[in-house]
Amino acid sequence: MNLDTGTGSITAGFAAPPDDLQVGSGTGSVSIGLPGDVSYNVSVTGVQSSAVNVHQSASSPYRIRVSGGTGTISIVPGAPATSPASA
């Protein structure tokens, strides 16, 4: 699954772990909520600030790839973190 925006924020929550999630945001924050009972193979590149608070394992079959420019990245168990609305 691909989620991408050039300008703007992305907020998404998943009831089941995604097999392969690619998220990109040029300008804007990214907030992703994932089930917390499994591990994820997470890579975050090109961002100013990130907080990855899910269990991580390079051997996990659940791959999460996030890239961005300006903005923050938040990957949390459960519902995605909320932040002020942006355009």
pTM: 0.83
pLDDT of residue 81: 58
Would residue 82 count as lying in a domain? no
pLDDT tens readout for residues 11-44: 999 999 999 999 998 888 899 999 999 999 999 9
In a domain, 83, yes or no: no
Q: Is residue 51 part of a domain?
A: yes
Asked if residues 43 and 60 have their Cβ atoms less than 8 Å apart, the reply is no
- 56: in domain: yes
**Of 61, 63, 62, 83, which is closest to residue 72 (Cα–Cα)?**
83
The pLDDT tens digits for 42-64 are 999 987 788 899 999 999 999 99
Distances (CA, A) of 45 to 7, 38, 82: 17, 22, 22
Range of 34's domain?
Answer: 2-77
Asked if residue 53 is part of any domain, the answer here is yes
Number of independent structural domains in the chain: 1
Q: Are 75 and 51 in contact (CB under 8 A)?
A: yes
